[in-house]
Amino acid sequence: ETVGEGVRLLAAYSAGMTLPFIIAAGFIRPFLKWMQGFRRHLGRIEKAMGLLLILFGVLIATETINWIANWMVMYWPTIG
């Protein structure tokens, strides 16, 4: 609870926030190479995600999503 401890905690927090971005930057070239090959599938993925978005919108609007959540908790208690 001193200033020194606060500085150490802030440094640890900052390092923890920065490290994933530094690691991600190291993998950007392989990711971009992979993405060029994956690009041909993007149209189908966009359509599938759009359908999922519409489906979840309907489930929320009809309040069916609550029934599904309760059913999942009842049959898989470890997720609740």
**What pLDDT does 80 receive?**
66
Q: How many domains does the chain have?
A: 1
**CA dihedral angle for residue 62, residue 68, residue 73, residue 74, rounded to 10 degrees:** 110
Range of the domain at 66: 3-79
The rounded distance, in Å, linking the Cα atoms of 35 and 74 is 40
**What pLDDT does 77 receive?**
84
Would you state the structure tokens that stand for residue 76, as one six-digit string?
């898989």
Q: What is the mean pLDDT of residues 47-75?
A: 95
